[in-house]
Amino acid sequence: MEQLFQKIGKIKYEGSDSKNPLAFKYYNPEEVVYKKPMKEHLRFAMSYWHTLTGTGMDPFGAGTNIRSWDKLSGMELAKKRADIGFQFMEALGIEYYCFHDVDVAPEGETLKETLQNIDEMADYLEKLQKQTGIKLLWATSNMFSHPRFVHGAATSCNADVFAYCGAKVKKMLEITKRLGGENYVFWGGREGYETLLNTDSKLEMDNLARFLRMAVDYAEKIGFKGQFLIEPKPKEPTKHQYDFDVATVIGFLRNYGLEKHFKMNIEANHATLAGHTFQHELNMARINGILGSIDANQGDLLLGWDTDQFPTNIYDAALAMYEVLKNGGLAPGGLNFDAKVRRASFEMEDLFYAYIAGMDTFAKGLKVAAKLLEDGVFETMIEKRYESYTVGIGKDIVEGKIGFEKLAAYALKNDQIKNTSGKQEYLESLLNQYIYEVK
Ligand code: XUL
Ligand code: CO
Mean pLDDT, the chain, whole residue set: 98
Ligand 1 touching residue 117 (CB < 6 A): no
Distances in Å between the Cα of 189 and the Cα atoms of 58, 99, 151, 192, 254 are 18, 15, 11, 8, 21
Q: What is the pLDDT of residue 116?
A: 98
The pLDDT tens digits for 24-60 are: 999 999 999 999 999 999 999 999 999 999 999 999 9
SS3 436: helix
Ligand 1 touching residue 245 (CB < 6 A): no
Ligand 1 touching residue 316 (CB < 6 A): no
The pLDDT tens digits for 409-426 are: 999 999 999 999 999 999
Segment 206-235 mean pLDDT: 99
Q: What is the pLDDT of residue 3?
A: 85
Ligand 1 touching residue 191 (CB < 6 A): no
Q: Residue 46: in which H helix or E strand, if any?
A: strand 44-47
Q: What share of the chain is helix, strand, coil (3-state, %, to 5)?
A: 50, 15, 35
30 Cα to the center of ligand 1, angstroms: 30
Q: What is the C-alpha to C-alpha distance for residues 77 and 71, in angstroms, rounded to an integer?
A: 8
111 Cα to the center of ligand 2, angstroms: 25
Q: What is the pLDDT of residue 389?
A: 98
The pLDDT tens digits for 141-152 are: 999 999 999 999
Segment 154-175 mean pLDDT: 98
Residue nearest atom 5 in ligand 1 by C-alpha distance: 187
Q: Which ligand is nearest to the CA of 241?
A: 1
Residue type, 297: N
* Atom of ligand 1 at shortest range from CA of 49: 8
Distances in Å between the Cα of 431 and the Cα atoms of 153, 365, 434 are 44, 11, 5
Q: What is the pLDDT of residue 2?
A: 77
Cis peptide, bond prior to residue 332, ω within 30 of zero: yes
Catalytic-role residue among 41, 100, 270, 276: 100
39 Cα to the center of ligand 2, angstroms: 21
Ligand 1 touching residue 231 (CB < 6 A): yes
Ligand 1 touching residue 281 (CB < 6 A): no
Q: What is the C-alpha to C-alpha distance for residues 175 and 105, in angstroms, rounded to an integer?
A: 13
Ligand 1 touching residue 140 (CB < 6 A): yes
Q: Which residues surround ligand 2, an ion (CB under 5 A)?
A: 267, 295, 338
Ligand 1 touching residue 114 (CB < 6 A): no
The pLDDT tens digits for 114-132 are: 999 999 999 999 999 999 9
For the question of residue 360 being annotated catalytic, the response is no
Among residues 54, 39, 3, the alpha carbon closest in space to that of 308 is found at 54
Is the separation of the CB atoms in 361 and 317 below 8 Å?
A: yes
Ligand 1 pocket test, pick from 231, 243, 266, 273 with the greatest ligand atom count within 8 Å of Cβ, gives 231
1 falls in which pLDDT band (50, 70, 90)?
A: confident
The pLDDT tens digits for 319-351 are: 999 999 999 999 999 999 999 999 999 999 999
Among residues 103, 40, 57, 47, the alpha carbon closest in space to that of 77 is found at 103
Residue nearest atom 2 in ligand 1 by C-alpha distance: 187
Q: Residue 317: in which H helix or E strand, if any?
A: helix 314-326
350 Cα to the center of ligand 1, angstroms: 21
The pLDDT tens digits for 351-397 are: 999 999 999 999 999 999 999 999 999 999 999 999 999 999 999 99
- pLDDT cut 70: percent of the chain above it: 100
Q: What is the C-alpha to C-alpha distance for residues 290 and 390, in angstroms, rounded to an integer?
A: 27
* Atom of ligand 1 at shortest range from CA of 100: 10
Catalytic-role residue among 41, 50, 101, 103: 103
Is the separation of the CB atoms in 221 and 231 below 8 Å?
A: no
* Atom of ligand 1 at shortest range from CA of 265: 9
Asked whether the predicted pLDDT for residue 98 surpasses 80, the reply is yes
The pLDDT tens digits for 266-313 are: 999 999 999 999 999 999 999 999 999 999 999 998 999 999 999 999
For the question of residue 415 being annotated catalytic, the response is no
Q: What is the pLDDT of residue 260?
A: 98
377 Cα to the center of ligand 1, angstroms: 35
265 Cα to the center of ligand 1, angstroms: 10
Residue nearest atom 3 in ligand 1 by C-alpha distance: 187
Ligand 1 pocket test, pick from 267, 281, 307 with the greatest ligand atom count within 8 Å of Cβ, gives 267
Q: What is the C-alpha to C-alpha distance for residues 273 and 275, in angstroms, rounded to an integer?
A: 5
* Atom of ligand 1 at shortest range from CA of 267: 7
